[in-house]
Structure 1
Amino acid sequence: MHIDILTLFPEMIESVLNTSILKKAQEKNKFSYNLVNFRDYTESKHNKVDDYPYGGGAGMVLSPQPVFDAVEAITKETSSKPRVILMCPQGERYTQKKAEEFATSEQLILICGHYEGYDERIREHLITDEISIGDYVLTGGELGAMVIVDSVVRLLPDVLGNKESAPQDSFSTGLLEHPHYTRPADFRGMKVPDILMSGDHAKIEAWRRKESLKRTYERRRDLFDDYPLTEEDKKILDMISNQDR
Structure 2
Amino acid sequence: MRIDIITGFPKILEQPLNESIIKMGRRKAAVDIHIHDLRDFTTDRHRTIDDYPYGGGPGMVLKIEPFYRALKKIFETQDVAKAHIVLPSPRGRTLTQSVVTELSIKEHLVFLCGHYKGIDERIHEFFKIDEISIGDYILSSGEVATLVMIDAMVRLLPGVIKDINSAWTDSFSDDLLDVPYYTRPEEFEGKKVPPVLLSGNHQKIAEWRQKMREKITRQRRPDLYEKYLKSIK
Range class of TM-score, shorter chain: over 0.9
In structure 1, the residue corresponding to 2:58 is in which secondary structure?
Answer: coil
In structure 1, the residue corresponding to 2:15 is in which secondary structure?
Answer: helix
One-letter identity of the residue aligned with 1:7: T
CA contact (8 A) 2:156 2:164 kept: no
In structure 2, the residue corresponding to 1:226 is in which secondary structure?
Answer: helix
One-letter identity of the residue aligned with 1:222: D
Residue in structure 2 matched with residue 241 of structure 1 by the alignment = none
In structure 2, distance between residues paired with 1:204 and 1:131:
37
The alignment status of 1:41 with 2:41, answered yes or no, reads yes
Greater RCO between the two (CA within 8 Å, min separation 6)? 2
One-letter identity of the residue aligned with 2:152: S
User: Which digits, 9 at most, give the CA deviation of each residue in 1:18-46, with x for residues without a partner?
Assistant: 11111111111111111101121123454
User: Which digits, 9 at most, give the CA deviation of each residue in 1:169-205, with x for residues without a partner?
Assistant: 0011221011111111111110111111111111111
One-letter identity of the residue aligned with 2:35: L
Residue in structure 2 matched with residue 55 of structure 1 by the alignment = 55
* Structure 1 residue 229: Cα displacement: 5.0
Cα distance change of structure 1 residues 22 and 191 upon mapping to structure 2, 3 Å threshold: same
Residue in structure 2 matched with residue 72 of structure 1 by the alignment = 72
What pairs up with 1:1-245 in 2 under 5 angstroms? 1-79=1-79, 81-227=82-228, 228-230=230-232
In structure 2, the residue corresponding to 1:218 is in which secondary structure?
Answer: helix
* Structure 1 residue 144: Cα displacement: 0.5
One-letter identity of the residue aligned with 1:163: I
One-letter identity of the residue aligned with 2:191: M
Cα distance change of structure 1 residues 128 and 116 upon mapping to structure 2, 3 Å threshold: closer
Cα distance change of structure 1 residues 124 and 211 upon mapping to structure 2, 3 Å threshold: farther
* Structure 1 residue 125: Cα displacement: 3.6
User: Which digits, 9 at most, give the CA deviation of each residue in 1:46-81, with x for residues without a partner?
Assistant: 421222211111111111111011111112211351
One-letter identity of the residue aligned with 2:146: A
In structure 2, distance between residues paired with 1:90 and 1:230:
31
C-alpha RMSD over aligned residues: 1.5
One-letter identity of the residue aligned with 1:94: L
Residue in structure 2 matched with residue 234 of structure 1 by the alignment = none
In structure 1, the residue corresponding to 2:26 is in which secondary structure?
Answer: helix
In structure 2, distance between residues paired with 1:88 and 1:229:
29
The alignment of Structure 1 onto Structure 2 pairs a total of residues equal to: 231
CA contact (8 A) 1:94 1:132 kept: yes
In structure 2, distance between residues paired with 1:3 and 1:230:
36
Gaps of 5+ in 2: none
In structure 1, distance between residues paired with 2:128 and 2:43:
21
* Structure 1 residue 103: Cα displacement: 0.3
CA contact (8 A) 1:6 1:35 kept: yes
In structure 1, the residue corresponding to 2:167 is in which secondary structure?
Answer: coil
Cα distance change of structure 1 residues 191 and 115 upon mapping to structure 2, 3 Å threshold: same
One-letter identity of the residue aligned with 1:121: R
In structure 1, distance between residues paired with 2:17 and 2:216:
32
In structure 2, the residue corresponding to 1:118 is in which secondary structure?
Answer: coil
In structure 2, the residue corresponding to 1:23 is in which secondary structure?
Answer: helix
In structure 1, distance between residues paired with 2:145 and 2:101:
16
In structure 2, distance between residues paired with 1:141 and 1:230:
36
Relative to the length of structure 2, the TM-score reads 0.94
In structure 2, distance between residues paired with 1:166 and 1:43:
45
Query: Could you tell me the percent identity over the aligned residues?
Result: 45
Relative to the length of structure 1, the TM-score reads 0.89
